[in-house]
């Protein structure tokens, strides 16, 4: 009953939006302008698979909408940022100035987001961040034109500091790549770990974006023999780290914990049994039983013949944000203030739970951060939820920058 009503109301809103666009178009005497969405994502290098997952999740929603939103045909313009801030900056300028995109989506790397933030803000172009977690974007470098549908780096890691101290051990060695995301995530973990009586016995930052060999760092960890190692790695670096950790014989000695990206579904099959027992914090697990997640898993598997990951959820949610906001404005993207207001009001059921933005930061409020342990489920590795922390908001207090 509830679904039928929602579907009816959604359909009516879309029909009304179409009529508005239609009226505008009839006056102008042409077809509605396409809705141009610039995807600034990595399609090569360490985070290539993340970029593909985000694109696939996003495409699933637009396909369901018949590649048309509020009467406007959806056009995706894909640019590979190569996980390189300078390349990202060049490509974002091209998307804004030459392609005239209505929305920007991306990037994956905090380094790229830091580089493009001012250009996006000054151009007053709407950016929906679909991964990059730099805390500063929810704090002193926030922008009225930037929304984040993924997470801030603080969000999965701050709850984990207290949880690890209470449930695993009070002595940890930290390791992460040497760039903004690694620093943010370790800082968030340390704050709550220390407050809960934990001690950090060592801390290392590894080369980024290229690093084949973790041996020098694993040697130091072996010598320190900590009770816990807390790590952030993602993409191809997660696979290498987890495998080398096992090869070094550390798996049975120091419990490996970390941010969820370390064992997400994109990397688990390649990590294999080396990942068993790793505990991570993340806003998603494929094992969530809510109806939206069940439908998402079915749709995604039918289309792509693989199991989705949290990055695909981020793409899926980003597209839903665009559909809901555009439906509310009747397809209008020119009146930026109206569009920003519509975006701030967006709310819907996501595979991760109820999706809404925190009005203070324009960053998603995580319905839960799930504490997950890698176990074998039905012959496959999966992130089994063993605990959860509700309603996790970035502590940003509001964007006070002008304009």
- Which of the ranges 1-9, 127-135, 141-149, 315-323 carries the binding residues for ligand BEZ, by CB under 6 A? 127-135
- Residue 314 contacts ligand BEZ per CB under 6 A: no
Q: How many residues bind ligand BEZ (CB under 6 A)?
A: 11
Among 42, 133, 351, 396, binds ligand BEZ (CB under 6 A): 133
Shortest distance, position 396 Cβ to ligand BEZ, whole Å: 16
- Residue 55 contacts ligand BEZ per CB under 6 A: no
- What residues numbered 15-34 form the site for ligand BEZ, per CB under 6 A? none
- Which of the ranges 27-35, 116-124, 131-139, 380-388 carries the binding residues for ligand BEZ, by CB under 6 A? 131-139
In DSSP notation, 156-197 reads: HHHHHHHHHHHHT-SEEEEEEESSHHHHHHHHHHHHHHHHTT
Distances (CA, A) of 53 to 38, 115, 314, 348: 16, 23, 9, 21
Nearest to 3 by CA among 364, 295, 330, 300: 295
Shortest distance, position 199 Cβ to ligand BEZ, whole Å: 26
- Which of the ranges 36-44, 102-110, 322-330, 352-360 carries the binding residues for ligand BEZ, by CB under 6 A? 102-110
- Residue 84 contacts ligand BEZ per CB under 6 A: no
- Residue 108 contacts ligand BEZ per CB under 6 A: yes
Distances (CA, A) of 105 to 45, 117, 182, 185, 197: 19, 13, 22, 22, 40
- Residue 263 contacts ligand BEZ per CB under 6 A: no
Q: How far apart are CA 150 and CA 48, in angstroms?
A: 17
Shortest distance, position 12 Cβ to ligand BEZ, whole Å: 38
- Which of the ranges 96-104, 125-133, 141-149, 358-366 carries the binding residues for ligand BEZ, by CB under 6 A? 125-133
Q: How far apart are CA 228 and CA 219, in angstroms?
A: 15
Q: How far apart are CA 261 and CA 284, in angstroms?
A: 10
- Which of the ranges 106-114, 162-170, 375-383, 387-395 carries the binding residues for ligand BEZ, by CB under 6 A? 106-114
Q: Is the peptide bond before 209 cis (omega within 30 degrees of 0)?
A: yes
- Residue 181 contacts ligand BEZ per CB under 6 A: yes
Nearest to 228 by CA among 158, 167, 152: 167
Shortest distance, position 90 Cβ to ligand BEZ, whole Å: 19
Q: What is the DSSP letter of 171?
A: E
């Amino acid at each position: 009953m509830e679904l039928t009503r929602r579907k009816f109301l959604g359909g009516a809103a879309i029909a009304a939006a179409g009529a508005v666009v239609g009226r505008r178009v009839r006056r102008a005497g042409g077809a509605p302008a396409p809705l141009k969405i610039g995807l600034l994502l990595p399609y090569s290098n360490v985070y290539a698979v993340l970029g593909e997952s985000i694109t696939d999740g996003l495409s699933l929603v637009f396909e369901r909408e018949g590649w048309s939103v509020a009467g406007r045909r959806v056009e995706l313009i894909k640019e590979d940022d190569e996980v390189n801030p300078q390349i990202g900056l060049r490509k974002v300028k091209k998307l804004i100035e030459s392609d005239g995109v209505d929305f920007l989506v991306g990037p994956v790397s905090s380094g790229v987001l830091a580089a493009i933030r001012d250009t996006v803000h000054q151009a007053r172009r709407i950016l929906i961040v679909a991964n990059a977690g730099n805390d500063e974007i929810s704090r002193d470098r926030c922008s009225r034109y930037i929304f984040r549908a993924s997470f801030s780096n603080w969000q999965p890691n701050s709850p984990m500091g207290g949880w690890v101290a209470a449930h695993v051990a009070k002595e940890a060695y930290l390791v992460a790549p040497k760039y903004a995301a690694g620093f943010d995530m370790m800082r968030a973990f340390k704050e709550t770990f220390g407050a809960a009586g934990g001690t950090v016995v060592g801390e290392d930052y590894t080369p980024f974006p290229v690093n084949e060999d973790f041996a020098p760092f694993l040697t130091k960890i072996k010598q320190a023999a900590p009770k816990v190692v807390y790590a952030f790695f993602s993409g191809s670096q997660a696979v290498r780290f987890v495998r080398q950790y096992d090869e070094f014989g550390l798996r049975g000695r120091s419990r490996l914990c970390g941010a969820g990206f370390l064992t997400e579904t994109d990397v688990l099959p390649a990590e294999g049994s080396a990942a068993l027992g790793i505990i991570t914090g993340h806003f998603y697990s494929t094992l969530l039983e809510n109806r939206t997640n069940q439908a998402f898993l079915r749709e995604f598997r039918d289309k792509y013949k693989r199991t989705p990951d949290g990055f695909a959820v981020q793409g899926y949610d980003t597209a839903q944000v665009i559909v809901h906001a555009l439906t509310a404005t009747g397809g209008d993207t020119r009146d930026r203030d109206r569009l920003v207001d519509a975006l701030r009001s967006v709310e819907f059921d996501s595979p991760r739970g109820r999706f809404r933005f925190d009005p203070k930061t324009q960053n998603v409020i995580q319905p839960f951060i799930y504490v997950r342990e890698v176990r074998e489920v039905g012959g496959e590795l999966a992130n089994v939820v063993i605990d959860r922390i509700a309603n996790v908001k970035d502590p940003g207090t509001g964007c006070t920058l002008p304009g």
